[in-house]
Amino acid sequence: MTFPFQQSRRRLGFLIAATFVGLAAGSLPARAQSASDLAAAAAREGKLVIYGVTDNEQANHLIREFRVQYPAVQVEYSNMSTTELYNRFISESAAGSSADVTWSSAMDLQVKLVNDGYAQPHKSAETAKLPEWANWKNEAFGTTYEPIGIVYNKRLVPAADVPQSHADFIRLLTTQADKYKGKVTTYDPEKSGVGFMLVTQDKQVNGAGFADLLKAFGGVSVRVQGATGTMMERIASGENLIGYNLNTAYALTRAQKDPSIGIVLPKDYTLVLSRVMFIAKGARHPNAAKLWVDFVLSKKGQEIIASKADLYAIRPDVEGDTTASGLKKQLGDALRPVPIGTGLLTYLDQAKRLDFLKQWNAAVKAK
């Protein structure tokens, strides 16, 4: 005869045994994936699809070295504009397929995609070397430290006219409007995702001075473009004399080949953008994607970014002129890196975006 208390003891023993069996079968938290395990899993996948806005020539420096280290992983890289990347990724995700990784300088659009649930987390050991503002939820990672500045034609703009601050730039356009009319260029915020992000950041940092900037743009009939390459060509040719809010990483590459290109990093404040990378939630090759993120954020990947890709390394332990540490020695507290996070979503609100573009068009296109 079995008494109730004996039944209870047996039931308890069964539950304890079942619990240990379950834990042994894998109910325990999964251990962190080692680098060798990750590389092996990526090799089995055999492919990696990246959508980016970095020029092929610059991206290929990273891709080539990645393939040297991981030859079993084929890399398919597609270069496009920031707005095109955003729209294509959304449409393809809705259809059930997408790139494994997106990598874009339009920080706000990248954060929106992450915020809307399009990314998967990856706890990379390399993020310990990133500034705190460059890692958002282990889903969005800053990979570069690119200063935004003023680019000008050294042959045609007198040294006395070269602005050293935003106030200098506004003063130049205001006092010499006739000379620079039709000769100033900047991004078109309606067509360029990164252009919209930069000019809205300007508004937040520059405060009351932003209205003066827009007025000055209107006074010289500023020419707007959707791509950096177009602006660089027109500055080099003399069709335009000064470019505002240009990514000086691209200007630096051009200046190495063209002595007519001059670059100014404003001494009052210099915005710094970081190309944001995330792994798609629906990635078909998630292990290869994680391996790529780790490589780009590694010291070796960052050294390639600084020494070959000319995109400025974000890791503080990488030295040289085209690095965060090099820029800090040059500009100190004038640097204003744009933090990755929900603050970037402010002007993506449809009402705020329309209000901003209305303000822009009223000032810039009024004349």
Crossing angle between the packed helical segments 299-307 and 286-297, to the nearest 10 degrees = 60
Q: What is the mean pLDDT of residues 304-310?
A: 92
Residue 253: what pLDDT? 87
Fold: same for 35-145+274-322 and 146-272+347-364: yes
DSSP string, 17-67: HHHHHHIIIIISPPPPPPHHHHHHHHHHH-EEEEEE-S-HHHHHHHHHHHH
- Quick one: how far is CA 248 from the chain centroid? 14
CA distance 131 to 118: 23
Task: Give me the residue spans of the domains in the chain.
Answer: 35-145+274-322, 146-272+347-364
**CB contact at 8 A, 232 and 244:** no
Taking only the tens place, the pLDDT of each residue in 133-174 is 999 999 999 999 999 999 999 999 999 999 999 999 999 999
pLDDT in tens, 175-225: 999 999 999 999 999 999 999 999 999 999 998 899 999 999 999 999 999
Superfamily name and number for 146-272+347-364? Periplasmic binding protein-like II (3.40.190.10)
pTM as predicted = 0.88
Residue carrying structure tokens 């089995």? 44
Residues 6 or more apart whose Cβ sits within 8 Å of residue 350 = none
- Predicted confidence band at 323 (pLDDT cuts at 50, 70, 90)? very high
Please give the angle made by the CA atoms of 45, 49 and 52, to the nearest 5 degrees: 155
pLDDT average, residue stretch 288-313: 96
CATH for 35-145+274-322 is 3.40.190.10
- The average pLDDT across 68-74 equals 98
8 Å CB contact between 323 and 313: yes
d(CA 177, CA 138): 48
